[in-house]
Amino acid sequence: MSKVTPISGFPEFLPSDRIVEQQFLDTIRETFELHGFASVETRAVEPVERLSNQGEDADKEIYGVRRLAAAADDEGPGLGLHFDLTVPFARYVLEHAGKLTFPFRRYQIQKVWRGERPQEGRYREFTQADIDVVDSGELPNHYEVELALVIAEALSKLPVPEFVIKVNNRKIPEGFYRGLGLDDVTTVLRIVDKIDKIGPDKVVERLVEAGATDKQARLAVQLADISSTDTSFVEKVRALGVEHETLDEGLEQLSQVMSAAAEHAPGLLMADLRIARGLDYYTGAVYEIYLIGQESFGSVGGGGRYDALASDGKTTYPGVGISIGVSRLVHRLVSLGLVKGSRKTPTAVLVALNNEEERNDAMRTAAALRARGIPTEVAPAAAKFGKQIKFADRRGIPFVWFSTDSGPEVKDIRSGEQVPADPAAWTPPAHDVRPSIETLEENS
């Protein structure tokens, strides 16, 4: 048998950390449903031509899927694993439009795959949690605020550090670049989007190499340097002296978002004009979520508005969505020791065995406890009680159930307290029924 080695970029949690991830997912799902978002799940694969040409080097990152026995040309253009959840959702809307009620509010929590170089926080397989609102024909701008507020509510319920949602509008850089005379907007956006990685001087250099003048390149960098937590970004952009109708439209739309956010969630959103998002289908608002003080790690979520991604030639279904990078976020917090599961198993009670002849009685006791919602398992073997208690302790199981001469008793192995108990009535404290997430403060 060959040696088992990990495959980089495909993370796997140990049980206690998986408990953290599951509770994150449960909280996110419950919050999305509180706001009326319906759950959908799309297939893992899409035709390659639908996935490709979306920007951010997507063509290079798509995992192709075909039968091992198939010849190269047997299956047409081929299938690819989806690299995000927005592109397959747009296809889903087109395919099921006649059965959906618009505006359609959906959430989707699934795995996605990207064939990029693995590094901290970047994986080849990971879980995303998305919410989107899609309408038929036109989509009001107020959803661009609402979705940010929903995401913020979900994150605020989780044990995550302070965060900020940075927002821009794609029309601002597009109109600004066109006002400068730079018509290859896509190229300029992709170069400027690397400003945090390579710095402003290198961005200027690359823009000049791509055909911009030094003045045009420096103004593009100055635009990317503008940010504010209110609408003052408008004056800063105007001060650069560039005019274009698309720029005007973008400034107006982002001002509406920032004004509404200031009323409903002061300080939550920051207008940051260097936020671009690498995917080409975004046409309006774009978002990036950062942990404050850990910006160098990169965003832990993002999204934006897309007006033309879903269209059948007759009807266009514009949408806006934001995603939480659940795997990226949880792995970061776990690796820093900021969170951990309170135990390695859901089990709250271990039913101990005096001998193997009592296993049937122990199974009946466990069934009675489970019937009342108490996670319970029977000891794997009738070992010495000390060994059975150690088994429970190693997995974080707080209670051990014993059958004694005077009747059933339950022991809290943390405090050592042991009391008589009836399996039809006894219940542990509420916080012990299910495992929980312990934070750094609780661990220290």
The one-digit pLDDT tens for each residue of the chain (444 residues) are 578 888 899 989 999 999 999 999 999 999 999 999 999 999 999 999 888 866 555 566 899 888 877 766 565 568 999 999 999 999 999 999 999 999 999 999 999 999 888 888 789 999 999 999 999 999 998 899 999 999 999 999 999 999 999 999 999 999 999 999 999 998 998 899 888 889 999 999 999 999 999 999 999 999 999 999 999 999 999 999 999 999 999 999 999 999 988 888 888 899 999 998 766 788 999 999 999 999 889 899 999 999 988 998 899 999 999 999 999 999 999 999 999 999 999 999 999 999 999 999 999 999 999 999 999 999 999 999 999 999 999 999 999 999 999 999 999 999 999 999 999 999 999 999 999 999 976 554
Crossing angle of helices 214-224/171-180, nearest 10°? 160
CA distance 284 to 302: 13
Structure tokens of 134?
């899609």
Fold of 349-431: Rossmann fold (3.40.50)
User: Which residue reads 């101990």 in tokens?
Assistant: 352
Handedness of CA 383, 387, 389, 391 (dihedral sign): negative
> How far apart, in whole angstroms, are the C-alpha atoms of residue 155 and residue 290?
11
pTM of the predicted structure, to 2 decimals: 0.90
Token representation of residue 427 = 């219940």
In this structure, which CATH number among 3.30.750.200, 3.30.930.10, 3.30.470.10, 3.40.50.2300 belongs to the domain 15-340?
3.30.930.10
Residue 9 falls in which region: left (phi positive, over 0), alpha (psi -120 to 50) or beta: left
CA–CA separation, 385 and 403 (whole Å): 11
Cα dihedral value 121, 124, 125, 129, nearest 10? 50
Alpha-carbon gap, residue 333 to 401, rounded angstroms: 35
Alpha carbon distance 276, 192 (integer Å): 8
Residue 418: is it exposed, middle or buried by C-beta count within 10 angstroms (0-12/13-18/19+)?
middle
Alpha-carbon gap, residue 71 to 81, rounded angstroms = 19
Q: What is the pLDDT of residue 53?
A: 66
pLDDT at position 73: 59
**Cis peptide upstream of residue 428 (ω within 30 degrees of 0):** no
Cα 430–chain centre separation: 29
Residue limits of CATH 3.40.50.800 in the chain: 349-431
Q: What is the largest CA-CA distance in the chain?
A: 91
What pLDDT is attached to residue 219? 96
Give span(s): CATH 3.30.930.10, the chain: 15-340
Which bin fits 331, alpha (ψ -120 to 50), beta or left (φ > 0)? alpha
> N- to C-terminal Cα distance for the chain?
43
CA 141 to mean position of chain CA atoms: 23
